[in-house]
Every structure is written in C-alpha cells, then in structure tokens.
Structure 1
Amino acid sequence: SAGTKMDAKAAELAKVKGNNDGTEAEKDQELVLYEFVGLIVRIAFQRANPKHGNYGSNPRHVIHLPMCLEAMLETEVLPRARKDNSAEFREKVMAELSVMKVFEEYGPKLKAWYAKCTTDDTEYFDRSDEMGMEQWLRVCDQLDLVGIWRCYRESDITGDPACKALYQWGFSMAQAKLNFADSQDKMNELGAAKAAAGEGIASLSYNEWCENLARCGVDKFRAVKEMTP
C-alpha cells in the first residue's frame, strides 16, 4: 500500500550512512577528527564563495581549494587557537627536582585521598576508579579552591603601613577545566574515533591527576612572582 511504501522510505531516510566495515554508523551530535576536518574544509570554501551554486553566479570568480582553506586557517583559526603546552609542561615543570620532591613528600597522603575520592561515587555521576572532570570540578567547589585572594606583606623591620605590598592570586573553574584537559595523556588515549563516556579522555589517572594539581598550582599563584612551581 501507499502507507507501507511511505513508511519504508521514511525508515530508509532515517538510517545513517554506514561505516567502512559495513555496519550502520551511530547517529550522534559529536565529530571525530576526520569529520571535523571535513567540516573545516566546507566552511572555508563556503566562506570564500558564499554565492557558489546560486543561480547567476559566475564560476570564474570561485576561490578554489586549498587556497581558501589556507587563508582561513592562517588569518582566522590559528591566531585564535589555544596552543597545547602539555608536553612542554611535563618536560620542564614536572621534571624539576623541587616539584618531584614535593610529590614524593606528599605522595602517600595524595594517593590515599585520590583512592578515597574515586572509590566513593555516591555523590557523582562518574562510575570509574579514575578522577572524572565533573568530580574534580565539584571538589574544587567544595574545597573552595576557586576564587580570588588578597593579602598584604608589611615590613618586618619598621612595620610602616606605607611599606606593605599587595599580593593577589586567583583560580577559576575555566582554568580547572583547561588544566584537567591538558593533563590527559592524549598520545595514548586519543584515537581516530571517540572514546566511550568515562573512559580515557574523560578521566585522569593518579599520575595525570598529580600533573593536574601542579598545573592548577602554577595557574593559581602565577601572579605572585616570588613563588616558584
């Protein structure tokens, strides 16, 4: 019947384009790397040729690839892109003897706290033995790690108020999220396709979490020049 044909056609249109292995792809609202690259190429071409394909448009005036893509990347995307300094931070800051000594001194307490926090999932949606981002953000909020602090340092000799120096430092939720992401071992965890929720890129192992602590400490006290990592 006509109704049956329409239903079959609607079901066919509802299907998502299949994968290379013949299986049906999962329809989602996320882009993996190769999909994101394709999106960038489409945007670059459409941005350089907004009237391409319209009636009356002159095909001679088309700005072809890869020129339009290169122009958009150099003038718009790369200047605004946030650079990943995770490898540099690991090689310089995490390798400092003073930083390693601090983690060695507080290692047992940090491991005990990390194990206790990741084992008890009653207050969080994360069901993992690793630290999830939502869990870490709640910890930052509950322990008052986010905010702005000020103090004055007065002269130890004269006590003159005119000699006091103002110190100000702060930490935000945005910095907590960025440090969490930068502390992930992307080389071993990121693949061509996305990872399932709560796996790898959505959580931090103990060593990654220690790096996250170091990043948060550096960001929090960056304005205090007398303090070193």
Structure 2
Amino acid sequence: MTTPIEHLRSFAHVDVLRRARTGMPEIIYAASKTTDQVIAIADHMLAANGRVLISRPTADMVERCLTTYADMTITRSTADRMLTVARVPIDHTQLGGVVGIIAAGTSDLPVADEAAMVCTELGCQVERVTDVGVAGLHRLFAPLTRLLEIPVDVIIVAAGMDGALPSVVTGLVDVPVIGLPAAVGYGHGAAGEAALGTMLQSCAPGIAVVNIDNGVGAGAMAARIATKAAQARARGTHK
C-alpha cells in the first residue's frame, strides 16, 4: 500500500502522492545529490507511480539511468537538463490544455525544453516556437499568430541576454504570459541577471516571472493554468 510519505534509508522522505494532492509530481533535483541517491529515489518513485522526472542530472547520472532503466522509456531534453524515465505511459485522460513555449534564441532552448517536459508530463499539449528574439522581431509575428489561432491557454517565453521578448509578447496577446529568464549573456548583467531585471520591470500587464533558469517552475505554473482552462471548457461543453 502506498503511503503519502515513504522513508528511503537516511537521506529521503519521498512524497509519492504529491501529484494526487497537488497535480504536480515530485521531481528529483539531482544537482546536489550523488548518483546513488538519485537512482535510489528514482527506483522508489518508479515502483510507486511508474514515472519519474529528474532535473539537472550530471553526465554520470544520465549514463546510470540509461543502463539501469534500459527496459523503460527515457526522454532527454536539450543538454540533458531534464530526464524522464517511464515504466507506464502518460495518462492522457486528464484535460491538460495547450501551452505555447517560445524560446527567444537557440541558447534558451535548455530551459525552454525543461518547461516543455514538465507540461507534457502533466498532460498538456505543447506548441513550440524557437529563435524569434527581438534582434529580428519580424520573425515573431507569424508563429505567434499560429499560437493564438490554435488557441493556446498560456505562453511561456524563455529569454536570456536582454530578456525583452516576454514583455513584447505580453503586449500582443490576451492570454497569460510567463517570463522565463535564461542564464545567457556576459559582462554587466550576465548569467540571466539582466533578463530577470527586465522581465520584473515590464510595463506590459499580464506577465508573471519565475527565477533564472527555473524551467520547472514555469512549466508547472503554465500547466496549472492550461489544465484549469481545459477543465472550464469541458464543463461548458457538457452543460
């Protein structure tokens, strides 16, 4: 029988029922853990839920997962920023909604992919747009129009350097926008600091901002918004 919190040796209390409680599964943050700890926690979560997400694994962790879970489905994001190991398929009976994800530049793809994997795991349809930053703003309009015609329920905009694109998008759309600053850039305001500052100072109402490189947080918030929008549509359809 699965209990809400399962004790794992001396280093983890695994919250295996978090998704049932909050809609968001526990994600293993691997960056400050050992490979053995990550594998032990992943084993426990796979036994309980059949799926596990691992954020920021090291190269050694990725290789161990590929070996240990060779008989399961493994999905890797750009630069292996996130890993999904699955013994069972995603439950698509949930109404996940539609999330648009825009990466201002190719350098922003790792965090954008991290957000996309979270949204997909939560049953959302993800629509992607890449390399439409403000240095060539004319590239934005056709794909943004496509997103609105789908229509998407929420848009994540990942941007480093000046971080200006989320404000631009917010001024053009009628859906919530989540700004995702990426640790891209150099010199003054490097490592995402300038991007975060720009997004927080946006004069376009309707934008919310997560921390630098927080693709997990952006994906989780977008998925919640999209899921609630989809549920509302379903209720309206069945009246």
Q: Would you say same fold, with TM above 0.5?
A: no
TM-score w.r.t. structure 2 length? 0.25
Q: Which has the higher helix share?
A: 1
**Which has a greater percent of strand?**
2
Give the TM-score taking structure 1 as reference length.
Answer: 0.25
Larger radius of gyration: 1
